[in-house]
């Protein structure tokens, strides 16, 4: 399998693009100096600095023990033991506090980053475009949920070490220079630089493989989710063996990539561990330099032992600071991989959002090929949609489904759209709702979505998680030119109205099955309700919201003709104008105009002659 590349055609790695994407994420995590995350971060810095001060005092204790024991002073030994125990307890408490703050930072960062991604993801139709029409981003759900979680966890883990490194390296470098001279200091610095360069080379291929692994993890999880959601249909087709084979193929692709990643990480681990253990030998070399140079010939054995212990601590700790930074190589590679995936998602969503902001579907001015911009006539208040020489096609095809369609869908005139499969009936609704762009011509919407406006009942019903009341009261609200799926409270709770809507559609029994309108259910509505019940519940939602225009896409396909007739009559009694898509001839008596889509861009419009 070829290594995965980002949307710009480049393999993800530690480069300028990574820094740009990481900087964008940091601006989300730290939007201002007064932000809670900044305060927590500064608190963590203070706690970590305190830990280092205590560690320095603890590190000097062995040299003090050498001095006290050489003097054979019991009083000094007793005081030193008490002091050591006290410092160790303080160190333990401060380290635990630092770990606790890091955990809080992880939660805070995950909340901020996820909510920021949600703001763009659910803005307008970004989530629809990203999941249905946009092919450059794999598994956006995994990137928002799993990748963000892992990035924030890794960053919180390494935050304290990165925070304190400049201070500890500076201080212990100064101490090392004083104790071991410039030769020892330069040796340690050179050791660190060589280790950094080698690890930078080894990290390069790991980042791109990590990104590819996360993609395949998402694909493998999606395959299992697909089986879970469609388990009954798969069982009817006896598709277990086929899906077993396909799922195993996804698993093999994932494991193959993981093996490649482990092979690359092996060399990184060898480099990291080698530098860890070489550091311990280097510390003794650095200590030996002034000893063999004769700098400490005037000291007695006890004083020399204490001095060696002190110098050993300083040099070993400085090397430890450097090796800790080198040890972060594996963590940095993970952070880089998740940063690229999240950053790529951000860029794609912002691109989609900017594109939607410039769409002109419902603007008073729309582009015309011959005249540039032309002003549409004011839309009559009793109209839902005005189609002006509309042509449209599927986003994945160049063949027009409908060409040059002009139609005014006005209040009181019910329209039935018919045609063979693939002629563009559902596609027409996608264009009317703004999900797809017209190839040419324009669609002008005269009213908004939701109550007293237009409400769509799509072919695949949408049920959210939540109570029965929330199923009935969910609706589309137009805000700033975009539509959002939300649940809101419409004044005082109207139990009687909801119960009446459920009774009209024949679902009064749902009250007893759920335990009440506001009882939280622990099931998936799609698993519990039959296709017919799902369609009935959508009609209950329709009757509760009472839109002026109802757009019904095969909304009664799972119901009997008798029930269909009752529901359509109820719609008419509530004063709704209907735009329906369907194949049944029984629908004709409920409509005034029929739009027949003939395929190849052709269409025809005719009126029904109704008998008195």
- The predicted model gives 477-497 an average pLDDT of 52
Give domain status of residue 378, yes or no: yes
What is the tens place of the pLDDT at every residue in 502-535?
Answer: 999 999 999 989 888 888 887 778 888 888 999 9
Pick the closest to residue 584 from 594, 572, 571 (CA basis).
594
**Percent of the chain scoring above 70 in pLDDT:** 76
Distance between CA atoms of residues 190 and 544, nearest Å = 74
**Mean pLDDT within 414-432:** 90
Q: How far apart are CA 550 and CA 457, in angstroms?
A: 8
pLDDT-derived band of residue 433, with 50, 70 and 90 as boundaries? confident
pLDDT at 270: 79
Query: What stretch of H or E contains 594?
Result: strand 593-599
Please tell me whether residues 319 and 411 are part of one structural domain. Answer: no
Tell whether the model's pLDDT for residue 612 goes beyond 60. no
Tokens of residue 34, six digits: 């007064």
Domain final residue, candidates 325, 357, 389: 357
Partners of 457 in the β-ladder: 552
Note the pLDDT of residue 180: 62
Nearest to 571 by CA among 555, 550, 592, 557: 550
> What pLDDT sits at residue 506?
93
CB-side neighbour CA atoms (13 Å) of 240: 4
At residue 220, the pLDDT reads: 85
The CB density around residue 464, as the number of other CB atoms within 10 Å, is: 12
Cα–Cα distance list, 532 to 458, 529, 535, 537, 556 (Å): 14, 8, 5, 9, 8
Q: Supply the CATH number for residue 219's domain.
A: 1.20.1560.10
Could you tell me the pTM of the whole model? 0.70
Q: How far apart are CA 504 and CA 492, in angstroms?
A: 22
Share of the chain above pLDDT 90, in %: 20
* Residue 139 or 449, more confident: 139
Phi and psi at residue 581, in whole multiples of 5°?
Answer: -120, 130
In this structure, are 235 and 377 located in the same domain? no
User: Tokens 């608190």, residue?
Assistant: 43
Query: Does residue 212 fall inside a structural domain?
Result: yes
Residue 4 lies in a domain: no
More confident residue, 578 or 612: 578
pLDDT at 9 over 70: no
372 and 319 in a single domain? The answer is no
Q: Would the pLDDT of 194 be above 70?
A: yes
| Residue that terminates a domain, selected from 357, 382, 399 | 357
Whether residue 11 lies inside any domain: the answer is no
What is the per-residue pLDDT for 564?
Answer: 93
Q: Are residues 343 and 423 in the same domain?
A: no
Pairwise CA distance, residues 38 & 119, whole Å = 22
Query: Is residue 6 assigned to a domain?
Result: no
Contact indicator for 581, 426 with CB cutoff of 8 Å: yes
Q: Tell me the per-residue pLDDT of 264-305, one tens digit each, with 9 for 90 and over.
A: 878 877 776 776 666 666 666 766 767 776 766 776 776 667
What does DSSP say about strands 482-487 and 474-479: parallel, antiparallel, or unpaired?
A: antiparallel
**Number of structural domains in the chain:** 2
Do 197 and 332 sit in the same domain of this protein? yes
Whether the Cβ atoms of residue 163 and residue 48 lie closer than 8 Å to each other: yes
Out of 253-262, 267-276, 366-375, pick the least confident: 366-375
484 is a domain residue: yes
**Which of residues 572 and 356 earns the better pLDDT score?**
572
Q: State the pLDDT at residue 114.
A: 93
Question: For position 362, what pLDDT does the model report?
Answer: 41
Assign residue 479 the CATH number of its domain. Answer: 3.40.50.300
- Going by C-alpha positions, the residue among 411, 432, 420, 464 that lies closest to residue 598 is 420
Q: Which residues constitute the domain of residue 462?
A: 365-607
Note the pLDDT of residue 69: 76
CA separation, residue 209 to residues 149, 252, 347, 432 (Å)? 19, 15, 21, 43
User: What one-character DSSP code corresponds to residue 610?
Assistant: -
pLDDT confidence of residue 483: 42
CA distance 247 to 239: 12
- 115-119, 126-130, 518-522: the lowest-pLDDT one: 518-522
For every residue of 474-519, DSSP letters joined together read EEEEEETTEEEEEE---SS--HHHHHHHHHHTT-TTHHHHHTSTTP
Distances (CA, A) of 428 to 20, 129, 458, 468: 41, 17, 12, 31
Same domain, 515 and 565: yes
Q: What is the pLDDT of residues 555-610, one digit of tens each?
A: 998 999 999 999 999 999 999 999 999 888 899 999 999 999 998 889 999 987 65
Whether residue 66 is found in the same domain as residue 204: yes
Look at residue 5 and tell me if it is in a domain. no
Q: How many whole angstroms separate alpha carbon 370 and alpha carbon 386?
A: 20
- Shared domain for 304 and 373, answered yes or no, is no
Please report the pLDDT score of residue 611 as a whole number: 53
Q: Between 3 and 313, where is the model more confident?
A: 313
Q: Is the pLDDT of residue 360 over 60?
A: no
User: Is residue 612 included in any domain, yes or no?
Assistant: no
- Confidence band (pLDDT; 50, 70, 90) for 10? low
Q: Which of 357, 380, 395 is the last residue of a domain?
A: 357
pLDDT in the model for residue 372: 37
Per the CB < 8 A criterion, the answer to whether 410 and 460 are in contact is no
Shared domain check, 334 and 423: no
Q: Is 370 found in the same domain as 313?
A: no
User: pLDDT, tens digit, for every residue of 392-413?
Assistant: 998 888 889 999 999 988 888 9
Query: What pLDDT is recorded for position 417?
Result: 94
Instruction: Examine the domain organization and report whether 179 and 288 are in the same domain.
Output: yes
Burial 529-539 (b: 16+ CB within 10 A, else e): beeebbbbbbb
Does residue 576 sit in the same domain as residue 430? yes
- Mean pLDDT in the chain? 79
What's the whole-number mean pLDDT along residues 237-254? 81
């Amino acid at each position: 399998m070829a290594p995965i590349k980002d949307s710009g055609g480049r393999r993800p790695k530690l480069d300028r693009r990574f820094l740009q994407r990481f900087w964008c994420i940091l601006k989300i995590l730290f939007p201002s100096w007064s932000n809670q995350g900044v305060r927590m971060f500064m608190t963590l810095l203070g706690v970590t600095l305190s830990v280092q001060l205590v560690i320095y005092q603890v590190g000097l204790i062995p040299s003090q023990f050498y001095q006290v024991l050489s003097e054979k002073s019991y009083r000094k030994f007793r005081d030193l033991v008490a002091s050591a125990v006290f410092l160790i307890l303080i160190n333990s408490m401060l380290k635990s506090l630092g770990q606790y703050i890091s955990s809080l930072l992880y939660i805070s960062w995950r909340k901020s980053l996820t909510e920021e991604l949600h703001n763009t993801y659910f803005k307008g139709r970004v989530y629809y475009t990203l999941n249905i029409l946009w092919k450059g981003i794999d598994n956006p759900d995994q990137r928002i949920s799993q990748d963000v979680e892992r990035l924030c966890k890794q960053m919180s883990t390494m935050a304290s070490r990165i925070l304190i490194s400049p201070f500890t390296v500076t201080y212990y470098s100064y101490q090392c220079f004083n104790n071991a001279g410039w030769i020892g200091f330069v040796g340690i610095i050179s050791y660190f630089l060589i280790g950094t360069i080698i690890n930078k080379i080894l990290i390069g291929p790991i980042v791109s493989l990590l990104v590819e692994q996360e993609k395949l993890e998402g694909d493998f999880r999606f395959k299992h989710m697909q089986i879970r959601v469609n388990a009954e249909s798969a069982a009817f087709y006896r598709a277990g063996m086929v899906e077993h084979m396909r799922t195993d193929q996804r698993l093999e692709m994932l494991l193959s990539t993981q093996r490649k990643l482990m092979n690359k990480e092996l060399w990184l681990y060898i480099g990291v561990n080698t530098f860890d253990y070489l550091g311990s030998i280097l510390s003794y070399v650095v200590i030996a330099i002034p000893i063999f140079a004769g700098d400490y010939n005037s000291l007695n054995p006890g004083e020399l032992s204490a001095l060696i212990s002190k110098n050993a601590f300083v040099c070993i700790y400085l090397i430890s600071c450097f090796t800790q930074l080198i040890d972060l190589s594996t963590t940095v590679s993970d952070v880089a991989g998740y940063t690229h995936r999240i950053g790529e998602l951000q860029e794609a969503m912002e691109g989609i959002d900017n594109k939607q902001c410039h769409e002109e579907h419902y603007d008073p001015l729309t582009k015309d090929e011959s005249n540039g911009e032309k002003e549409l006539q004011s839309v009559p208040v009793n109209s839902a949609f005005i189609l002006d020489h509309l042509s449209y096609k599927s986003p994945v095809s160049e063949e027009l489904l409908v060409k040059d369609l002009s139609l005014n869908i006005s209040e009181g005139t019910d329209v039935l759209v018919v045609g063979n499969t693939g002629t563009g009936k559902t596609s027409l609704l996608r264009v009317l709702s703004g999900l797809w762009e017209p190839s040419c011509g324009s669609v002008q919407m005269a009213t908004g979505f939701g109550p007293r406006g237009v409400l769509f009942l799509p072919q695949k019903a949408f049920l959210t998680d939540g109570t029965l009341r929330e199923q009935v009261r969910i609706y589309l609200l137009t805000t700033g030119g975009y539509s959002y799926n939300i649940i809101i409270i419409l004044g005082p709770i109207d139990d009687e109205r909801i119960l009446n809507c459920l009774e009209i559609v024949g679902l009064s029994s749902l009250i007893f099955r759920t335990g009440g309108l506001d009882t939280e259910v622990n099931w998936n509505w799609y698993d519990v309700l039959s296709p017919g019940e799902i369609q009935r519940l959508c009609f209950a939602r329709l009757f509760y919201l009472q839109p002026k225009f109802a757009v019904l896409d095969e909304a009664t396909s799972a119901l009997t003709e008798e029930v269909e007739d009752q529901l359509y009559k109820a719609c008419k009694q509530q004063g709704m104008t209907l735009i329906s898509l369907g194949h049944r001839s029984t629908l004709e008596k409920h409509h005034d105009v029929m739009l027949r889509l003939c395929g190849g861009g052709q269409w025809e419009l005719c009126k029904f002659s109704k008998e008195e």
